[in-house]
Amino acid sequence: MHVKFIISALSVLLSGTTALSESNLTTHVDVLTLDHAFNPVKAAYWTGYPHHRRTPFAVSPNGKSAYIAYLDSTETDVHVQQLDPTTFKATGTSVTITGGQEAGGLVAHNDGFAVLVNEAMPSGTTNAPPDNTPVAVIYRYTNGNETWKTWLGGPNVHAADGLSASPDMNGDLVYSLKSETYGAYFVVTDYSGDASGHYGDSIQYVNTSGDVVDIDGASSSWGCSHNTGIAFKETVKAPFASICAEDQGAIWLNTKTQGMTNDGVKISNENTTNGASGEPMGGMSGSYSALDRFYNSTRFIFAWVSRGAIDVTENTWMGDGYTNVKNRTNGRNVAIALFSDKYTLVGDQATSTVGEEDGDSQVNWITDGSNDCSNAHVAVFDGESALVTWEEISDPTCDFIAMGCRGEFAGSFFQEVNSKGVKVGEAVKSTDVYVAGDMVTMGDGRICWPYVSMEWDLSQAVGYGSSTDTYKKMSIACMAV
Ligand SMILES: *[C@@H]1O[C@H](CO)[C@@H](O)[C@H](O)[C@H]1NC(C)=O
Ligand SMILES: *[C@@H]1O[C@H](CO)[C@@H](O)[C@H](O)[C@H]1NC(C)=O
Ligand SMILES: *[C@@H]1O[C@H](CO)[C@@H](O)[C@H](O)[C@H]1NC(C)=O
Ligand SMILES: *[C@@H]1O[C@H](CO)[C@@H](O)[C@H](O)[C@H]1NC(C)=O
Ligand SMILES: *[C@@H]1O[C@H](CO)[C@@H](O)[C@H](O)[C@H]1NC(C)=O
Ligand SMILES: *[C@@H]1O[C@H](CO)[C@@H](O)[C@H](O)[C@H]1NC(C)=O
């Protein structure tokens, strides 16, 4: 106890900042009134365990407008509500993206917004996906009116490589002010060509006129197989910084490759089973605020959850240089990695040496308990420090290998880390604040995010007695240093 106190006091002195405390977490409960009802719970792939349904949140470059996107409780139509970035109260009337089936990313502009959703193509579209399977699409609204709508899959996008649909909208939309380019990284399934019937991912760039632009060494029609986790952050120029979790055993920094080949940077070895790798970036509805860049710096921070890795064996399917691992633990812990620029990991890559016992010796762990950690996210405060957050289940039951767990919700945690990846103080705990949408760094240095004020039950699959309530209020929480 004594030693621990001295060490944390010392780390405070060394970092020059005081640690976060509960007083730094402020909440604005039910502050935002929605025009339409919203169901905040989404069943996860394979397990059906509850995930927060993502509500993308974004603030404009001039800091004067903010938007939140949410799926109507009928599960069709995505609504985009403008809010005041100071009071967080709704302003204006909401815009409805008719037919949208999930909100997958939101960019706020000074004059409006762009939102990534998936929706079925109009009936009669030649070479549309079968069975009205939805396709990723970006909508741009300027001063309240639709200015363009751009499909990122379907018949006219990378037709020579095979055509893509997006039954689930897992991914993210970002925008580079410097190069005036949108980037979207999202999960696809192909319905023609070599990858027909298979799941993978796609990276598409769109210019401010709403045209898909094919950028050599950046655009990708097919990258990581059965990707269940995406992290994406805009940079000055394409390729934007990107990370994928694939179904063969690794998490890759794939800014250079856009794929899962081992000329990318192997961040982590993960046990993979049935196309999953432990929902490292949140699984269904999770691929946001996992990668951020420190201000005025080329340095990035990435957060994920992992069961660790032991027993490195050759991945005979992928061949020489690729590996499989077993998981070290039952529950998942939180890890972070730093990059000195969008191509370069700080420290060692995850091992690819067959026969090694430890497959995770490079990992910088943020937690080390036997609780199961999930829903990890990160955002920077400034050039020096970042906020890492996650949820815990105590005494978890993990019925399915490489998936999520169930059990008693033990709280959300908020840990400050510095730009060297060192923890500053202890994590702040909350049992009634969750992270359910993008963590945005506000002009005043606070980090704010949306959530729904509700009981959070992680003990059983959705539909087995868990809440199916819908809500017409959104809450915002902020952390300040
Ligand atoms: C954050 O908490 C520290 C104490 O740990 C306090 O000194 C500081 O004023 C708080 N900052 C804000 C913005 O509440
Ligand atoms: C938006 O559309 C409405 C009618 O649909 C029109 O009256 C208005 O001028 C448009 N606004 C802009 C900024 O184009
Ligand atoms: C966007 O790309 C299209 C097609 O290449 C081009 O015609 C258009 O001028 C571009 N718009 C901008 C703003 O660069
Ligand atoms: C994943 O770990 C399980 C043990 O939890 C093991 O049986 C399985 O073979 C591992 N998967 C791979 C691809 O090695
Ligand atoms: C980033 O650099 C600009 C210009 O030098 C400065 O005004 C700004 O305060 C810096 N921001 C941070 C968070 O350090
Ligand atoms: C590996 O993870 C699974 C759940 O994914 C769990 O059942 C198993 O006990 C774990 N193995 C070890 C060694 O903890």
Give the pLDDT confidence of 60-91 residue by residue, as tens digits.
Answer: 999 999 999 999 999 999 999 999 999 999 99
* pLDDT above 70: percentage of residues in the chain: 95
pLDDT in tens, 304-330: 999 999 999 999 999 999 999 999 999
CB-count exposure of residue 275 (10 Å: 0-12, 13-18, 19+): middle
Residue 146, C-beta contacts closer than 8 angstroms, at least 6 positions apart: 139, 140
pLDDT above 90: residue 123: yes
Residue 227: predicted pLDDT: 84
Distance (Å, whole) CA 121 – CA 126: 10
Q: Which of 141, 145, 146, 147 to mutate to test the pocket of ligand 2 (most atoms within 8 A of CB)?
A: 145
pTM of the model: 0.95
Residue ID of nearest Cα to ligand 5 atom 2:
296
The pLDDT confidence band at residue 12, using thresholds 50, 70 and 90, is very low
Mean pLDDT, rounded, of the chain: 95
Average pLDDT over residues 126-147: 97
Q: Is the minimum distance from the CB of 143 to ligand 2 under 6 angstroms?
A: yes
Q: Identify whether 2 is part of a domain.
A: no
pLDDT band at 467; cut points 50, 70, 90: low
What CATH number should be reported for the domain holding residue 437?
2.130.10.10
Would 449 be classed as within a structural domain?
Answer: yes
Q: Does residue 332 lie within any of the structural domains? A: yes
Does residue 4 belong to any structural domain of this protein?
A: no
* C-alpha to C-alpha distance for 281 and 276, rounded to whole angstroms: 11
- The pLDDT score that the predictor gives to residue 393 is 98
| Structure tokens belonging to residue 123 | 């009936």
List residues near ligand 6 (CB under 6 A).
Answer: 307, 327, 329-330, 398, 401-402
214 in contact with ligand 3, CB cutoff 6 A: no
Q: What is the pLDDT of residue 465?
A: 55
Residue 451, pLDDT score = 98
Q: What pLDDT, on a 0 to 100 scale, did the predictor assign at position 3?
A: 47
Model confidence band, residue 481 (pLDDT cutoffs 50, 70, 90): confident
User: Is the per-residue pLDDT at 8 higher than 90?
Assistant: no
Query: Could you list the residue range(s) of the whole structural domain that residue 106 is in?
Result: 9-479
In this predicted structure, what is the pLDDT of residue 17?
56
Long-range CB contacts (within 8 A, 24+) of 315-323 = 315/248, 315/249, 317/248, 318/248, 321/262, 321/352, 322/248, 322/249, 322/250, 322/262, 322/352, 323/249, 323/250, 323/269, 323/351, 323/352, 323/354, 323/359
Is the backbone peptide bond immediately before 239 cis, with ω within 30 degrees of 0? yes
Contacts of 318 (CB under 8 A, 6+ apart): 248
Q: What is the DSSP string of 104-127?
A: EEEEEETTEEEEEEEEPPPTT-TT
Quick check: is 3 in a domain? no
Q: What pLDDT, on the 0 to 100 scale, is given for residue 466?
A: 52
Q: What percent of the chain has pLDDT over 90?
A: 94
Ligand nearest to the CA of 146: 2
Residues 360-412 pLDDT 10s: 999 999 999 999 999 999 999 999 999 999 999 999 999 999 999 999 999 99
Specify the pLDDT at position 77.
98
Between the CA of 296 and the centroid of ligand 5 the distance, in Å, is 6
- State how far the Cα of 27 lies from the Cα of 42, in Å rounded to an integer: 23
In a domain, 193, yes or no: yes
State how many domains the chain has. Answer: 1
pLDDT digits over 417-460, tens only? 999 999 999 999 999 999 999 999 999 999 999 999 999 999 99
Question: Residue 179's pLDDT is what?
Answer: 98
- CA of 307, nearest ligand number: 6
The atom of ligand 6 lying closest to the CA of 273 is 5
Kindly report, residue by residue over 195-249, the tens digit of the pLDDT.
999 999 999 999 999 999 999 999 999 999 998 899 999 999 999 999 999 999 9
Q: How far is the CA of 270 from the centre of ligand 4 (A)?
A: 10
